[in-house]
Amino acid sequence: MLILGIESSCDDTAAAVLKGDSVLASILSSQDAIHSQFGGVVPELASRKHLQSIHPVVMSALAKAGVQLSDIDLIAATQGPGLIGSLLVGFSYAKALSHVKRIPFVGVDHMAGHILSVFLGAEKPAFPYIALIASGGTSSIFLAENSHTFHHLGRTRDDAAGEAFDKVAKLLELGYPGGPVISRTAVDGNPQYVKFPRAWLDENSLDFSFSGLKTAVLNHVNQQKQQNKALRFPDICASFQEAVVDVLVAKTILAARRHQIGTIVIGGGVSANPRLRELFAERCNKEGVAFYAPERDYCTDNAAMIALAGSHKYAVCGASTLDEDVYSRSPLG
């Protein structure tokens, strides 16, 4: 089965063609250059740019895969969560293609895409597993029972993990998006330089909170400036990063222990973070838990994971109807 995936939930316009779970093409048009000058995504600019990019991006995915639109068996597009104006561009485009070309269409939850993105790689986990999805919009823990049944166990109470990386990079004036630049800067830093707070919340909570950590970094920066001390960027970045990954890893392992599940999977933009992967591998090894991470290209937003999740949803639930609408908050929780 040939699946065309379309993703436009935030600031990347993406299209992919999959044959089963093999990726024939995965194209992404990034808007980072537009939003970097504002230190974050400007929704109105994002949707306008999606309008310009969507058709060329889909056409180049088809061309790269060496297929025609008429060869496609299923069109899958992100239905939510995300920015409504951005979602509407990809979702409406997909519905129009489906209607005109009489190709079945399925609306896909972006979270389901991240939860399943690991299947685009060579090593595939067995269900059930615990999934940590950490990106610019969410830090959530799910229990994935199978490819279409997900239970939301923990969620962000304020800033998502990726959002914390972006906001801290902005206050350190390191650029946008913050995750990649902070993880690069942290390579030469000392993670013990500042003991930034870890928000464990109540003892058994699987929820996350990163807004206090962001304020702690701001306080440190202000103190250093007041004392006319130079900012030690690598050390600050390494200390901040350690505080984030420490909590993400510990709570995900707690979820696996509590539900007696022997496999952990990660996904979302923050799952590209090398220190997060290293700490997961280390602690999962100690716990006797299997650990899987998606290939780097499929951590951040991409359309291949949408095509994949769409094919699973279509197999179980059939096609979506053309009167379905986009949503900003995920029904997955």
Spatial distance between the Cα atoms of 158 and 167, rounded to a whole number of angstroms: 13
Spatial distance between the Cα atoms of 217 and 223, rounded to a whole number of angstroms: 10
Minimum CB–partner distance for residue 135 and ligand KG4 (Å): 3
Spatial distance between the Cα atoms of 95 and 104, rounded to a whole number of angstroms: 9
Please give the angle made by the CA atoms of 120, 297 and 319, to the nearest 5 degrees.
50
Does the protein bind ligand KG4 through residue 185 (CB under 6 A)? no
Does the protein bind ligand KG4 through residue 26 (CB under 6 A)? no
Q: How far separated are the first and last CA of the chain, in Å rounded?
A: 30
Segment near ligand KG4 (CB under 6 A), from 56-64, 177-185, 199-207, 320-328? Answer: 177-185
SS3 content of the chain, % helix, strand, coil (to 5): 50, 20, 35
Beta carbon nearer to ligand KG4, 244 or 264: 244
Does the protein bind ligand KG4 through residue 178 (CB under 6 A)? yes
Site for ligand KG4 in 157-176 (CB under 6 A): 162-163, 165-166
Segment near ligand KG4 (CB under 6 A), from 50-58, 134-142, 143-151, 303-311? Answer: 134-142
Which residues contact residue 277 at a Cβ distance below 8 angstroms, ignoring those fewer than 6 apart? 266, 271, 293
User: How many residues sit close enough to ligand KG4 to count as binding (CB under 6 A)?
Assistant: 20
Beta carbon nearer to ligand KG4, 5 or 269: 269
Q: Which residue has the tokens 């104006």?
A: 85
Does the protein bind ligand KG4 through residue 81 (CB under 6 A)? no
Q: Which residues of this chain interact with ligand KG4, rule CB under 6 A?
A: 10, 135-137, 162-163, 165-166, 177-180, 183, 268-270, 272-273, 300-301
